[in-house]
Structure 1
Amino acid sequence: MVDDYAMVNTLERGAAEMLEPRVRGKVPKVRRAAAVCAANSALVLMFSGETTNEEEEAILMDDMYLIHLEGASSLRFEKAEAQGDYLPGPRKGAIFQELSPGKLFLYGGVGPDGKPCNDAFVLEVDGLKWTRVFFGHPDLAHPTGPIATLCQGKLVSILSSAGSPKLDIAESLDFAGVSESFDITTRMKASSLELLSFVEKWTATQAAGFELASDPGSLAAEFDKLLKVMEALYEVRSKKGYIDLLLEQLSEAFSFLASQHIGMTKQMKALEEVGRAWEE
């Protein structure tokens, strides 16, 4: 494995210049198939990769380095200590790309056991914090890992079916869409609107039943009306505790959503009307 460094000056088209940089800091052990990504024009991150030990056995490095580009021909290495509830394990051949400004995306690779790493992580460059955004069983991934890249925020991977020598399966995963579907405010708003619709219809139905009781004469003449009144009375008595709690929970949920700058004025007014109808 080659253990030297080079920088390429590409400021002039068609005249790229290879420079031998001055290297400072804690230089990492030489390796191959490391995950490398530029965070900005002055910082490159390198994660894991494969090297050899004293017995010339291949091993994976469980480390990450910051490579500071301090000038036209100057590099400074710094060993990084990352944070996070789940940290990516050592691997080789993983993809490492910019997901959005300040966030880098790590996916796949092959782990120490020779099995593909069927997981994905996002690294916040400020603070060096990892967040695991996907995890699957290694046996569900292609033995050598998929060919993958990020395209417009989506993970696009190409792999082969079992026993096939051809890479003939293309898959994509929209992390933004998946993340939004599990977002607490998104889910709370959707559930709250469903519950509000339910309680509006329920109170309207019971109110219509009690309205029939205002004409006792018609109840004696029409048994169907009497049944509706009795059903409304049973519903109110049996579900009073549930409706009281539901109205209280919806009020708290709408207040929280409003604090998150989500427009809930219309829904809060509708809830107030339901509350007044319920009290009557």
Structure 2
Amino acid sequence: EHTRNSRIPEGLAGGTEGKFNEKATQDFVDIDLDDVMLHSEVNLPIDFLVNQTLTLGTEWNQQRMKDLSSNTQALTGANTGGAIDGVSATDRSPYSKAEIFSLFAENNMELTDSTIVTPGLRFDHHSIVGNNWSPALNISQGLGDDFTLKMGIARAYKAPSLYQTNPNYILYSKGQGCYASAGGCYLQGNDDLKAETSINKEIGLEFKRDGWLAGVTWFRNDYRNKIEAGYVAVGQNAVGTDLYQWDNVPKA
């Protein structure tokens, strides 16, 4: 899948962030995203002890982006916070890339006519943030002819975006957008991020009769390593501008 976003350049600093840049030398800039997804799975009926359907599968996803706009925040001159050590002031690469390889398995087991148990497991390897295992367990229990009790617990996974892991993606604030810096700060992409994960729990009751369907569900999500703009500066340049990065919040 190829997506091209042609847009008027936007501001990357202070009050102009996200606004169309009236002083831009280009009428439009292009952001090109190539997203390749390969997916394969097989369903295997198994008649052993109980009726089962085992699903095995694999995925491969590659994202490649060329962004001629978002990586162009200047580091010298007006409306900047000065140079950052180790980062080019004007010639940062517009390219970013990430790949995810996944394996997954799920087994749908009919223990009785009214009880279905479905365990699952997924493995993801991200080319930047590394490995992740995501187990899951779901149970469906019939309660008479009209009601079904459904329960589940699963570990969910979300990889950071191409911007969040790209050190060439930099935003600048003169102070209002900084957590604890009155004199201005930069926010930079961080290629040491971890993926976001969460433990999702739910329990619900479903009613079904004569074409009518209703249900009520309770759920709770506990997040780990949620990605946010950092609260602690990781450095300061020669003119006193603090440098923040995208960071993981341990629990949320």
TM over 0.5: no
TM-score bucket (shorter structure)? under 0.3
Counting helix residues as a fraction of each chain, which structure ranks higher?
Answer: 1
> Which is greater in Rg?
1
The two structures have a TM-score, normalised by structure 2, of 0.25
